[in-house]
């Protein structure tokens, strides 16, 4: 595999707490991508995209805009190939995340915090580098197929998975996973922060549910999932995703972060707790019951812990409030 040697084969975690709270007989598995180098799954797509460049392209370097995990991933992958890298970050990006990308030797350029400024600045920077390649965080087939490697690993590590729950923003991860897992008969569920309205998009067939707000960041504590519509590539692959979307509010996310700490000993960013929170929703329980009734039970459920990048102080303030009803 192209990415081998540049990404970590992340472990799969178990939780008796989760097992006990799902439909009887269910086993829950957690693919620990927060333990991936750079602290998120994003490295897989970035490595796949960057190592597929020709030597000629690679020589000119790569460029990306990101306020978070994609920045560190592209910087790390570029460093692995020893090529130039510029990361455009919107003003207001936490210093820790800027430092994370800079630590891999990337040049950091700060721009205004609007989508337009980000796109424009990254194009300018790419030109300045003599034609650097832009690495999109999700709307890119190579990025998507790179993210799919986590499903290939998961299915090797853990046999007979019936369903995978995947945190979904622009859809790069879920479409990569679905492409890899669907041929094995695995159902792929999207987990989303409340307000993203992905279920509505899937049922109406309109990629952008509300054009007026499409570019405005989603209001959620899951700062890694602020994108509302799926990207176009993910949208084209939407038939691989279950129509039932698992929506999670901020209070449930905070409770799941707390549970991940106290029950699973994992410190994660809000998006990293999204799949656990989604697994605990009545909507997912209903899916399990329906599947049972249809004679095709969902007994082995995997969830993706997609990232863990958060500073201690922010984490502490988020987890100090939430509690699960148990």
Q: Which residues bind a copy of itself (CB under 8 A)?
A: 8, 11-14, 16, 32, 34-35, 37, 39, 258, 261-262, 264-268, 308, 311-312, 316, 319
By the 8 A CB rule, do 235 and 207 touch?
Answer: yes
Q: How far apart are CA 284 and CA 303, in angstroms?
A: 12
The phi and psi torsions of 134 (rounded to 5 degrees) equal: -80, 130
By the 8 A CB rule, do 214 and 226 touch?
Answer: no
Nearest to 284 by CA among 205, 202, 188: 188
- Rank residues 74 and 179 by Cβ distance to a copy of itself and give the closer one: 74
- Rank residues 10 and 227 by Cβ distance to a copy of itself and give the closer one: 10
Cite the active site residues. Answer: 42, 67
Question: Least separation, in Å, of the C-beta of 105 and a copy of itself?
Answer: 14
Question: Least separation, in Å, of the C-beta of 104 and a copy of itself?
Answer: 11
For residue 239, the tally of other CB atoms under 10 A from its CB is 9
Nearest to 20 by CA among 307, 292, 324: 324
Question: Least separation, in Å, of the C-beta of 7 and a copy of itself?
Answer: 11
- Rank residues 240 and 267 by Cβ distance to a copy of itself and give the closer one: 267
- Rank residues 118 and 258 by Cβ distance to a copy of itself and give the closer one: 258
Q: How far apart are CA 238 and CA 175, in angstroms?
A: 7
- Rank residues 23 and 158 by Cβ distance to a copy of itself and give the closer one: 158
By the 8 A CB rule, do 65 and 101 touch?
Answer: no
For residue 130, the tally of other CB atoms under 10 A from its CB is 10
Q: How far apart are CA 79 and CA 103, in angstroms?
A: 10
Question: Least separation, in Å, of the C-beta of 39 and a copy of itself?
Answer: 7
- Rank residues 15 and 175 by Cβ distance to a copy of itself and give the closer one: 15
Torsion sign (Cα): 106, 226, 36, 174:
negative
By the 8 A CB rule, do 29 and 158 touch?
Answer: yes
Tokens 């998975």: give the residue: 161
Q: How far apart are CA 51 and CA 163, in angstroms?
A: 30
Question: Least separation, in Å, of the C-beta of 72 and a copy of itself?
Answer: 12
The phi and psi torsions of 302 (rounded to 5 degrees) equal: -110, 150
Question: Least separation, in Å, of the C-beta of 308 and a copy of itself?
Answer: 4
> Within 13 Å and on the Cβ side, how many CA atoms surround 287?
25
């Amino acid at each position: 595999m192209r990415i081998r040697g540049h990404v970590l084969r992340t472990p799969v975690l178990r939780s008796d707490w989760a097992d006990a709270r799902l439909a009887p007989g269910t086993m829950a598995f957690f693919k620990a991508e927060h333990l991936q180098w750079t602290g998120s799954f994003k490295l897989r797509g970035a490595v796949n995209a960057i190592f597929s460049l020709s030597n000629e392209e690679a020589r000119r370097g790569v460029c990306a805009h990101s306020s978070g995990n994609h920045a560190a991933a592209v910087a790390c992958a570029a460093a692995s190939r020893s090529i130039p890298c510029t990361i455009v970050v919107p003003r207001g990006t936490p210093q820790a995340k800027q430092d994370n990308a800079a630590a891999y030797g990337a040049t950091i350029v700060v721009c205004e915090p609007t989508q337009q400024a980000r796109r424009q600045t990254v194009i300018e920077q790419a030109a300045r580098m003599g034609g650097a390649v832009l690495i999109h965080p999700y709307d890119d087939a190579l990025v998507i197929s790179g993210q799919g490697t986590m499903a290939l690993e998961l299915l090797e590590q853990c046999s007979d998975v019936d369903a995978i729950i995947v945190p979904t923003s622009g859809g790069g991860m879920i479409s990569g996973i679905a492409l890899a897992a669907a041929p094995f008969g695995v159902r792929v569920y999207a987990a989303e922060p409340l307000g993203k309205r992905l279920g509505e998009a899937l049922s109406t067939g309109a990629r952008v549910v509300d054009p007026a707000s499409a570019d405005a960041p989603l209001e959620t504590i899951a700062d890694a999932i602020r994108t509302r519509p799926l990207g176009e590539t993910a949208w084209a692959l939407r038939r691989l995703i279950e129509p039932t979307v698992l929506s999670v509010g901020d209070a449930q996310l905070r409770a799941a972060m707390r549970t991940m700490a106290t029950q699973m000993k994992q410190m994660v960013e809000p998006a990293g707790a999204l799949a656990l929170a989604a697994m605990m929703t009545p909507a997912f329980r209903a899916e399990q019951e329906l599947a049972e009734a249809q004679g095709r039970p969902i007994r082995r459920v995997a969830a993706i812990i997609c990232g863990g990048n958060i500073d201690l102080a922010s984490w502490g303030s988020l987890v100090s409030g939430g509690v699960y009803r148990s």
